[in-house]
Amino acid sequence: MYAFDFVKPSSLDEAVAALADEGAQPLSGGQTLLASMKQRLNAPEKLVSLRAIPELQGVRREGDTLVVGAATTHARVTTEAAADYPGLAALAGQIGDPAVRNLGTIGGSLANNDPSACYPAAVLGSGATVATNRRKIAADDFFAGMFTTVLEEGEIITAVHFPIPQRAAYAKFQQPASRFALTAAYVAQFADGVRVAITGASEGGVFRWSEAEAALSADFRPEAVAGLKAPAEGMIGDLHGTPEYRAHLVGVMTRRAVAAAR
């Protein structure tokens, strides 16, 4: 590590002001940022902690929507979302290990947008809205590729608004060492149709599987997608699996998610 300034604002306005300084970077859970700093892959001059801002904390229900504050840890989502949105709570409970779940935050995960992260699948699969200090962004418009979002310089995620589906589930084929998703599927059924989001598989990051959505909207059973095959083109190929293997897992995990939701 190296010398840097650390500030811990108590309000969103203070955080925005602190981030206006050159070389400042927001710190939420720090699960990726601090590791990259230790390896000297990232060298911010100032870290602005978002953990002490009350308005960024907690889970609450507003009508048919579940609102999760951006600085809410995975562990809190696991317990506080269980009654209103069990599919989301179950996903949060599968992230990393206990240490990660007690430090990592939903806002930090979404801003980082790791291509194998769990929360992007829940956000895209739920058709959620990402609220920032400047605007509200639909999930379909938020993710812009591997480790990339539409967030602008100095823009802070404040909350995520999840429409509560009739039923939903997440099926994750876990990479044992990292506990990230080798491939995972999030399936959510609403009155007007089904959304299916895939993470861990594509070089472009999280994506919706439209063919599966159409099939499941007509018939919400695992058998409805049994004959569908995701294309291997554009899938990640590495030491953990070939593009063809990940394309195969897309179908397997989607069927498992549907079965779990039912």
Better-predicted residue by pLDDT, 33 or 192: 192
| Domain boundaries along the sequence of the chain | 5-49, 54-163, 167-261
| pLDDT at 32 exceeding the cut of 90 | no
| pLDDT at 1 exceeding the cut of 80 | no
Q: Model confidence over 229-249: pLDDT tens digits?
A: 999 999 999 999 999 999 999
Taking the C-alpha atoms of residue 153 and residue 9, their distance in angstroms, rounded to an integer, is 18
Q: What is the pTM of this model?
A: 0.94
**For position 187, what pLDDT does the model report?**
98
Better-predicted residue by pLDDT, 46 or 91: 91
CATH of 54-163, one of 3.40.225.10, 1.10.3470.10, 3.30.470.20, 3.30.465.10: 3.30.465.10
Q: Model confidence over 113-125: pLDDT tens digits?
A: 999 999 999 999 9
Taking the C-alpha atoms of residue 90 and residue 44, their distance in angstroms, rounded to an integer, is 34
**For position 35, what pLDDT does the model report?**
72
Specify whether domain 167-261 bears CATH 3.40.50.300. no
**For position 24, what pLDDT does the model report?**
83
Q: How many CB atoms lie within 10 A of CB 86?
A: 14
What Rg do the C-alpha atoms of the chain give, in angstroms?
Answer: 18
| pLDDT at 36 exceeding the cut of 90 | no
Q: Model confidence over 128-179: pLDDT tens digits?
A: 999 999 999 999 999 999 999 999 988 999 999 999 999 999 999 998 888 8
Specify whether domain 5-49 bears CATH 3.30.43.10. yes
| pLDDT at 40 exceeding the cut of 80 | no
Residue 77 in contact with residue 92, Cβ under 8 Å? yes
Q: Model confidence over 59-80: pLDDT tens digits?
A: 999 999 999 999 999 999 999 9
Q: Mean pLDDT across the chain, nearest whole number? A: 94
Q: Model confidence over 188-226: pLDDT tens digits?
A: 999 999 999 999 999 999 999 999 999 999 999 999 999
| pLDDT at 2 exceeding the cut of 80 | no
Q: How confident is the model at residue 27 (pLDDT cuts 50, 70, 90)?
A: confident
| pLDDT at 87 exceeding the cut of 70 | yes
